[in-house]
Amino acid sequence: MREWHEAAGAVHLHSQFSDGALPIPEIAAIAGEMGLDFLLFSDHNTLAPRRLGLEGWHGRTLVLAGCELNDADDRNHYLAFRIRKEIPAGLTARQNVRRVARQGGFGVIAHPAEKRSFSDAYPPYPWTDWDIDGFDGIEIWNQMSEWLEGVTRRNFIWRIWHPLRSIRFPVWTTLDRWDRLNRKRRVVGLGGIDVHAFEYKVLGLFPVALYPYKVQFKSIRMHILTATPLRPADVPTPAAAEAAVFEALAAGRAFIVNYSLGDGRGFRFWAERAGKRHPMGSRLARSGNVLLRAEAPLPGRMRLLRDGRVVREEHGRSVRMRTSESGVYRIEIFRRNRGWVYSNPIVIT
């Protein structure tokens, strides 16, 4: 049986290269303190961090930089990772997706179902162009979107003081769409924090950092299972480390953890058939019985879903089910009635 190496990171970060509050080395230092192994930056329409040599190891934390693209109407935000050449602004969403693919990049649809109820100053940027194919992943949980969506004039101050309590669940319509996409081909689910940490002047007077980086790093984390350990000794160069991270992501060996409800390190979801173990992200041709198993480091309400429907539910740290039916199988775990862990699926075709 193969042992995978687990790394926990944060995806979809903004720095001072666009509308984030801090420079990358400072953000990386905070992430290191918080125990994060990697950071995927996505400043708006720029690969400056890559050009200026900021990628690579900052202590124990790996920094990689892509960018966030938008279409000419500032809709359809798209995270473009593993690209070498900058993509000019003002293209259509379809052109953005195509250009990322042509460079061998890894493209992720950002905050697809974004809504707002509060302020015109922060309009929503949903994904609207679903005819387009060719993307690699979809941000099924966006921490900033969820926070802003629930903000009203009445709870605004409360939400600033208790940001982590507003993280509850990914948007249901996005999960549904993600399940349906995976019936046809692998579309990787990611959790992003979309951190900016911009300042907001409460009552127009004293400035408060909205969601400082340190707090954000305790929210939605992306865990990946890599073939090579994600450590400076094993993947010293940015190129080698990038290859390790995106090999795992592209294979769907990845899950999302809401860290404010507990550390998800050690969670596993796999399939067993004929003495062989297949990790999450696998797509298996249907033939006979498959045993699906998941284990968690902390107890919770564990649900195994097939095509979006719960087919098994257990309270505790493990769930298993034997099946011969095709479908998109994935795990959701709840703690304190909120979403804690979301796996990528195992698909029986």
Shortest Å, Cβ 197 to Zn ion: 12
CA pair distance 21, 26, nearest whole angstrom: 10
**Which residue, judged by CB position, is nearest to Zn ion in the bound state?**
77
Task: Give the span between the Cα atoms of 101 and 113, in whole angstroms.
Answer: 23
CB of 125 to Zn ion, least distance (A): 5
Shortest CB 308 distance to Zn ion, Å = 26
Which span (192-200, 210-218, 277-285, 287-295) binds Zn ion, by CB under 5 A? 192-200
Given the rule CB under 5 A, which of 146-154, 181-189, 190-198, 259-267 is the region that contacts Zn ion?
Answer: 190-198
- Which residue lies nearer to Zn ion by CB, 79 or 249? 79
Provide the minimum distance between the beta carbon of 43 and Zn ion in the complex, in angstroms, as a whole number: 9
Given the complex with Zn ion, which of 77 and 330 has the nearer CB atom?
77
Total residues interacting with Zn ion, rule: CB under 5 A = 4
In angstroms, what is the minimal distance from the CB of 142 to Zn ion?
8
Shorter beta-carbon distance to Zn ion: residue 66 or 339:
66
Asked if 89 contacts 117 with a C-beta cutoff of 8 angstroms, the reply is no
Paired sense of beta strands 38-44 and 5-13, if any: parallel
Q: For Zn ion, give the closer residue by CB, 113 or 296.
A: 113
The least CB distance from residue 110 to Zn ion, in Å, is 5
Per-residue binding letters, 18-57, with Zn ion (x by CB under 5 A): ----------------------------------------
Contact letters for Zn ion, residues 149-188 (x by CB under 5 A): ----------------------------------------
Interface with Zn ion includes 194 (CB under 5 A)?
yes
Binding mask 85-114 for Zn ion (x = CB under 5 A): -------------------------x----
Site map 54..83 versus Zn ion, x via CB under 5 A:
--------------x--------x------
- Shortest Å distance, C-beta 144 to Zn ion: 7
From CA 110, how far away is CA 38, in angstroms rounded? 19
Question: In this structure, what are the phi and psi dihedrals at residue 257, rounded to the nearest 5 degrees?
Answer: -130, 130
User: Minimum Å distance from CB 198 to Zn ion?
Assistant: 12
CA distances from 341 to 221, 263, 329 (A): 10, 10, 14
Considering beta carbons, is residue 119 or 289 the nearer one to Zn ion?
119
Helices and strands in the chain: count of H runs, count of E runs: 8, 20
Amino acid of residue 343: S
Which CB, 55 or 68, lies closer to Zn ion? 68
Distance CA 263, CA 152 (A): 30
Q: Give the nearer residue to Zn ion in terms of CB position, either 75 or 183.
A: 75
Q: What span, in angstroms and rounded, lies between the C-alpha atoms of 49 and 17?
A: 8
Q: Which residues of 205-215 are buried (b: 16+ CB within 10 A; e: fewer)?
A: eeeebbbebeb
Nearer to Zn ion, 4 or 200 (CB): 200
Give the list of residues 6+ apart from residue 26 with CB closer than 8 angstroms, or none.
none
Beta strands in the chain (DSSP E): 5-13, 38-44, 56-58, 61-69, 78-81, 106-109, 137-142, 188-192, 199-202, 206-209, 220-226, 254-258, 268-273, 276-279, 283-284, 290-306, 309-323, 327-335, 338-343, 346-348
Q: How many Å apart are CA 100 and CA 278, to the nearest integer?
A: 29
**Residues engaged in binding Zn ion (CB under 5 A):** 68, 77, 110, 194
